[in-house]
Amino acid sequence: MQKKYSVLLLKFASLIQKESGQDLLEYAFVVSLIAFGSVAVMSSVAAKVSTIFGLVGTILTTNS
């Protein structure tokens, strides 16, 4: 396990030193920000959609 961690750390260090590695890290950072933002927004959207469906269900039940 320690050897795998050391190899991973060495690869990460070599990526930081290379230009292409920096581009890769920047893209990974942007993708992670988009993913975390999407998760945060989806919880809010899910609550609102649930509320809307509840209201529609109530209206359909009372008007039937």
CA distance linking residue 6 with residue 13, whole number of Å: 10
Which residues have a Cβ under 8 Å from the Cβ of 6 and sit 6 or more positions away? none
Total residues belonging to the chain = 64
- The pLDDT tens digits of the residues spanning 33-62 come to 999 999 888 888 998 999 999 999 999 999
| Burial readout 6-20 (b: 16 or more C-beta within 10 A, e: otherwise) | eeeeeeeeeeeeeee
Amino acid at 11: K
In the chain, domain spans: 2-62
CA distance linking residue 43 with residue 11, whole number of Å: 36
pLDDT at 22 over 70: no
